[in-house]
Amino acid sequence: MKSQSVVTDLRRKVFKEVARVAYESDNPASDLEEIPFLITPDEVPRYRESIFRERQIASERVRLAMGLSLRPANKPVHITAGVDKSTIAEKYYEPPLMQVIPSACDKCPDNEYVVSDQCRNCVSHACIKSCPKGAVSIVNGKAFIDQSKCIKCGRCKAACPYDAIAHHIRPCAAACGVKAISSDEYGRAHINTDTCVACGQCMSACPFGAIADKSQIFQLIQAIKQGDEVVAAVAPAIVGQFGAKVTPGKMKTALLALGFKDVYEVAVGADVGCIAEAHHYVDEVATGKLPFLFTSCCPAWAVLVKKQFPDLASEVSQELTPMVATARSVKVKRPNARVVFIGPCAAKKLEASRRTVRSYVDFVITFEELAGMFDAKGLNLEELEEAPVKLRATGAGRGYACSGGVANAIESCINEYFPGTEVKIRHAEGLADCRKILTLAKAGKLNGYMIEGMGCPGGCVAGVGTIIPPERAKIAVEQIVNTSSEAIPPKEMEDLAEKLTKMD
Answer whether 184's CB lies under 8 Å from 51's CB.
no
pLDDT band of 1, cuts 50, 70, 90: low
pLDDT band of 355, cuts 50, 70, 90: confident
d(CA 383, CA 164): 51
Q: Does 356 score more than 90 pLDDT?
A: no
Q: Give pLDDT tens digits for 385-404.
A: 999 999 899 999 999 999 99
Q: Does 31 score more than 80 pLDDT?
A: yes
Please name the helix (run of DSSP H) or strand (run of DSSP E) that holds residue 189, with its range, or none.
strand 189-191
In this structure, which topology does domain 112-168 adopt according to CATH? Answer: Alpha-Beta Plaits (3.30.70)
Q: Give pLDDT tens digits for 447-498.
A: 999 999 999 999 999 999 999 999 999 999 999 999 999 999 998 898 888 8
CA angle 477, 483, 486 (to 5 degrees): 110
Average pLDDT in the 147-167 region? 97
Average pLDDT in the 437-446 region? 97
Domains 6-107+172-218 and 112-168 share a fold: yes
Contacts (Cβ under 8 Å, ≥6 apart) of 502:
none
Answer whether 130's CB lies under 8 Å from 105's CB.
no
Q: Does 3 score more than 90 pLDDT?
A: no
Q: Does 4 score more than 80 pLDDT?
A: no
Mean predicted lDDT score pLDDT of the chain: 95
Architecture of the domain defined by 6-107+172-218:
2-Layer Sandwich (3.30)
Average pLDDT in the 435-453 region? 97
313-341 exposure pattern, b = at least 16 Cβ within 10 A, e = fewer: eebbbebbbbbbbbbbbbbeeeeebbbbb
d(CA 365, CA 373): 10
Please name the helix (run of DSSP H) or strand (run of DSSP E) that holds residue 329, with its range, or none.
helix 322-333
- Beta pairing class for 211-212 and 189-191: unpaired
CA angle 90, 92, 98 (to 5 degrees): 150
Domain chopping of the chain, boundaries: 6-107+172-218, 112-168, 229-495
Nearest to 61 by CA among 20, 4, 8, 1: 8
Helices within 25-118 (DSSP H only): 28-39, 51-65, 83-86
Contacts (Cβ under 8 Å, ≥6 apart) of 235:
266, 267, 322, 323, 341, 342, 343, 344, 345, 401, 460
CA angle 390, 392, 396 (to 5 degrees): 145
pLDDT band of 110, cuts 50, 70, 90: confident
The Cα-based distances of 210 to 108, 260, 300, 430, 467 in angstroms read 11, 32, 21, 21, 18
Answer whether 503's CB lies under 8 Å from 496's CB.
no
Question: Looking at residue 2, what is its pLDDT?
Answer: 65
DSSP code of 485? Answer: S
Contacts (Cβ under 8 Å, ≥6 apart) of 360:
324, 327, 328, 330, 331, 339, 503
